[in-house]
Structure 1
Amino acid sequence: MHCIEPAKCDDNTALATSRKYAWIVFALTFGLLLSDYMSRQVLNAVFPLLKQAWSLSDTQLGSLSGVVALMVGLLTFPLSVLADRWGRVRSLVLMATLWSLATLGCAVATSYGEMLVARACVGLGEAAYGSVGIALILSIFPAHLRSTLTGAFMAGGAFGSVLGMALGGFVAIHFGWRASFAAMAIFGIVLVIVYRLTVSDKRIATRYGDAQSAARQAGGMRTSLRALVAGLFSTVSVVCAYVGSGLQLFIMGAVIAWMPSFLNRYYAMPADKAAAGAAVFVLLGGIGMVGCGVVTDRVCRDVPSRKWITALAYCLISLVLLSIGFRVQPGALQLVLLGAGILVVAGTSGPAGAMVANLTPSTIHASAFATLTLANNLLGLAPGPLVTGAIADRIGLLGALQVIPVVGIAAMLAFALGRARYARDLGRIDALRGRAAEQRVIAGTDAPGH
């Protein structure tokens, strides 16, 4: 078949090539996300072996896990801003290189102090990868795929955690805990090399350059710090969304971090089987995040404010299931209750994210989600494992895990307050958006040439 319109055929060929390259970029960026969480969660799989090898307390073990989330929480926002200025692809490559080398450092650590420093460097490398990675992906795909791509990318964290814990436990039991860290590091380094040879900022700009998008980004960079902070914390309800999400993830972070040790101590599972069993719970948590998000969108299709109610429901359900689960005798019933609780414990992530998007200007959504990530880590994922370990040193791990779900009550209070203020705050945001639109129209009318 001959092409009657050569120019049109050339455009179609270029479009097909661009789509293919976009999916290659997605696959490689997703692969590095897997490496990110594999390097982060492999530690939990070797908790029992580290405790035995170095005679560590549960507080020390919890700190080795929590320090990564602490670094992520502290550095996500500033490093995301720097990445937009320096180049997203170059930043992603640098981040992945750093966390891979730091994971290799964990493999050769000879003391708790050295391991803590290496884990902090892992967190430094991973800090902005999620926000910068999703920004890169969304910039090269059409807008109608954004929800699908965002959901798939976020689910990669759960899948990477599963792989890190399951493979880490298997390698540790056969070759030692140092080999587990080394394996994760090698996987990351190989992916970095492939990524660097395949993806670059120049190729992205050439294939997917958008002058209008670049102008918007430049405008965003000129936003003053005062105006940015005002937009991020403009209402009581958006602050409640940040706080509620972070507090609920405190439970998720604590349970997931200590699940391998729980199975090892109370079910007499060896390290590899305990890690594999815990990986199933992590997978349930990831599936629950996606599933609860879908349920929330369907239930709240006509009444978006119901998202607050779904968040409250997920908090309450997980509180009841986990509280009962950690109090019944070890056995099938306990595992079922814990699995059901973990399935919904992070279900608040979707509603909280939607509320943050609704309550902040679209021009600062990237910064708003970086702020949500900061809250999730500083209020939840970082202190969760550490506080659990500190309590476990006093009353035992089982006692600590029985206490931790109570944090869900604080999360419920935050979401309830946000719901009470939501209508008023949303009206205020809509009014501000309307005035801003009017000012843009007036500025455009008064501009030279009009």
Structure 2
Amino acid sequence: MATLASDNRKANYALGVLFVVTMLNFLDRQIISILAEPIKRDLGLSDTQLGLMTGLSFALFYTTLAIPVAALADRWNRSRIIAIAVAIWSAMTVLCGLSANFIQLFLARIGVGIGEAGSSPATHSLIADLFPPERRASALGVIGMSIPVGAFIAYAAGGWIAENLSWRIAFLIAGFPGLLVALAMWLTVPDPRGKPRLLESFKPIPGKASLRDALRELSGKPAYWHLVGAGVMVQFVSYGLASFYGGLFVRVYGMGYGELGWKLGVMVGLSGGFGAWIGGKAGDFFGKRNPTLPLIVSGLVLLSAAPGMIWAIYAGNANLAIILLAIPTFAATFYYGPTFAAVQLLASDQTRALAVAIYLLIAGLIGLGLGPVFVGALSDWFAAGGTGEDGAALQKALACLALFNLWAGAHYWFARKGVATAAQGS
């Protein structure tokens, strides 16, 4: 009993540190969203350039490097990998604040993506070893809760700093804490596989699958690819919307960055946090009864996000619009626990991290990489076509984006059969 209690404490402590790691991951990733409008004005950028800067620059290496880093996580010490990743992306966030033009900022954002590529696959693999299957969705739901918390800090603090100091200072302040967290991760969170010494941190562990092995295994599991498709659409919408929060509220409603930051932060923190927490609990609750129910519920939640998002975009009142944005924000985090629990169920012990990395590669490259570019280019196209001023053109682009929630919801319906089969064989 004492050993079990000690193991639970160690697992919960590790989960707490990973919560902070993921929170900083999304803080440093998302702070550019609230800073995009002042950056646009300072550097003279177009909406398309904003989309490239907030989405594609980050996604290029964040997604492609996730595969080799996940292969590393399936063989080597995951705690060390996460610590190094945190240190890299934090340093690159600081460099964002020192950028003098679009190219420099684009390259610094690529650096942030390179660092953050090392976090998620190793984190998910580590949690899968720290927690039994019946607690896994809840543990992943806790990690999902860190996402809106990081976004809350990014929006609230970033907006205030941008309005009262500068967008450059916001990047500098966002980047420095990660260096301390990286040290804590390195020193205090052991990998359950063992405690390698410093010089043995990268000693490979035999018996893990290669990328080719993982793709061969997953290619015969259509349910996995439907989960990937859902992830693509969720990220396409959520990052496309988040990248133009500032543009929507500053251009349409004339709201200041400080006011916008804390109001968005509260909305994202509460609705996103509850979405991730309730999604994780619902995943465990419904999954015990029928493994397909968590996916069906996730799909229904996403279907409700499309009309909710359109309603928010054309609310006509800034405060009402922020409140209504809670609907798509809740949906964009609810899916997290059920989806990644299903991914872990579909993958074998040898391919857990790689299954997450492949998911993140495709969902990130298309969703995160192209969602903001889609909105920016469509907004510029509407504006150039004389369909309205910048604010009205951006509203139309975001309304088109909202419809992709329907596509995301449909994938969960098609994934249910494969997940049920996998559950029977586990």
**Do the aligned partners of 1:318 and 1:344 also contact (CA within 8 Å) in 2?**
yes
**Do the aligned partners of 1:242 and 1:352 also contact (CA within 8 Å) in 2?**
no
**Do the aligned partners of 1:255 and 1:401 also contact (CA within 8 Å) in 2?**
yes
Amino acid at match of 1:262: L
| Greater radius of gyration (CA) | 1
- Aligned-partner Cα distance in 1 for 2:423–2:42: 58
Q: Cα–Cα, structure 1 residues 152 and 388, in superposed 2: closer, same or farther, change >3 Å?
A: same
**Do the aligned partners of 1:45 and 1:168 also contact (CA within 8 Å) in 2?**
yes
Structure 2 residue corresponding to 1:369, chosen from 356, 361, 364? 356
Paired residue for 1:46? 35
- Aligned-partner Cα distance in 2 for 1:268–1:158: 25
What are the ranges of 5 or more consecutive residues in structure 1 without an aligned counterpart? Answer: 1-10, 208-213, 435-450
- Aligned-partner Cα distance in 2 for 1:75–1:192: 19
What do residues 39-84 of structure 1 show as CA deviations (whole Å, max 9, x unaligned)?
1111112112101111111111121111223432222121121244
Paired residue for 1:63? 52
Stretch moving more, 84-93 or 173-182:
84-93
Paired residue for 1:410? 407
Paired residue for 2:68? 78
- Aligned-partner Cα distance in 2 for 1:176–1:277: 19
Paired residue for 1:278? 264
Paired residue for 2:248? 262
Paired residue for 2:25? 36
* Counterpart mapping for 1:33-432 below 5 A: 33-66=22-55, 67-140=57-130, 145-199=135-189, 205=195, 218-219=206-207, 221=208, 223=209, 225-283=211-269, 284-299=271-286, 301-395=288-382, 396-419=393-416, 422=417, 427=421
**Do the aligned partners of 2:211 and 2:354 also contact (CA within 8 Å) in 1?**
no
What do residues 187-217 of structure 1 show as CA deviations (whole Å, max 9, x unaligned)?
112333444454566995289xxxxxx99x6
- Aligned-partner Cα distance in 1 for 2:258–2:190: 39
In the TM superposition, residue 22 of structure 1 has moved relative to its aligned partner by: 5.3
If asked which structure has higher relative contact order (CA below 8 Å, sep 6+), I would say: 2
**Do the aligned partners of 2:94 and 2:171 also contact (CA within 8 Å) in 1?**
yes
State the secondary structure of the residue aligned to 1:109: coil
What do residues 14-35 of structure 1 show as CA deviations (whole Å, max 9, x unaligned)?
8877766655544434323222
In the TM superposition, residue 305 of structure 1 has moved relative to its aligned partner by: 2.6
**Do the aligned partners of 2:309 and 2:325 also contact (CA within 8 Å) in 1?**
yes
- Aligned-partner Cα distance in 1 for 2:35–2:181: 24
Q: Cα–Cα, structure 1 residues 83 and 398, in superposed 2: closer, same or farther, change >3 Å?
A: same
- Aligned-partner Cα distance in 2 for 1:86–1:61: 37
- Aligned-partner Cα distance in 2 for 1:237–1:104: 40
State the secondary structure of the residue aligned to 1:205: coil
In the TM superposition, residue 126 of structure 1 has moved relative to its aligned partner by: 0.4
Q: Cα–Cα, structure 1 residues 43 and 224, in superposed 2: closer, same or farther, change >3 Å?
A: closer
- Aligned-partner Cα distance in 2 for 1:353–1:203: 22
State the secondary structure of the residue aligned to 1:46: helix
What is the RMSD of the two structures over their aligned residues, measured on CA atoms?
A: 3.2
State percent identity of aligned pairs: 25
- Aligned-partner Cα distance in 1 for 2:187–2:225: 42
What do residues 224-261 of structure 1 show as CA deviations (whole Å, max 9, x unaligned)?
55432121121333212211222122111222222233
State the secondary structure of the residue aligned to 2:325: helix
In the TM superposition, residue 108 of structure 1 has moved relative to its aligned partner by: 0.9
**Do the aligned partners of 1:319 and 1:405 also contact (CA within 8 Å) in 2?**
yes
Q: Cα–Cα, structure 1 residues 82 and 299, in superposed 2: closer, same or farther, change >3 Å?
A: closer
Stretch moving more, 110-119 or 166-175:
166-175
Stretch moving more, 130-139 or 61-70:
130-139
- Aligned-partner Cα distance in 2 for 1:344–1:17: 35
Q: Cα–Cα, structure 1 residues 18 and 248, in superposed 2: closer, same or farther, change >3 Å?
A: closer
**Do the aligned partners of 1:241 and 1:418 also contact (CA within 8 Å) in 2?**
yes
Q: Cα–Cα, structure 1 residues 201 and 303, in superposed 2: closer, same or farther, change >3 Å?
A: closer
Q: Cα–Cα, structure 1 residues 83 and 413, in superposed 2: closer, same or farther, change >3 Å?
A: closer
- Aligned-partner Cα distance in 2 for 1:158–1:266: 24
In the TM superposition, residue 389 of structure 1 has moved relative to its aligned partner by: 1.2
State the secondary structure of the residue aligned to 1:218: coil
- Aligned-partner Cα distance in 2 for 1:308–1:20: 30
- Aligned-partner Cα distance in 1 for 2:254–2:217: 51
In the TM superposition, residue 292 of structure 1 has moved relative to its aligned partner by: 3.2
Amino acid at match of 1:260: G
Q: Cα–Cα, structure 1 residues 57 and 352, in superposed 2: closer, same or farther, change >3 Å?
A: same
Amino acid at match of 1:42: I
Q: How many residues end up aligned between the 2 structures?
A: 409
- Aligned-partner Cα distance in 2 for 1:250–1:155: 20
**Do the aligned partners of 1:256 and 1:282 also contact (CA within 8 Å) in 2?**
no
Q: Cα–Cα, structure 1 residues 225 and 385, in superposed 2: closer, same or farther, change >3 Å?
A: closer
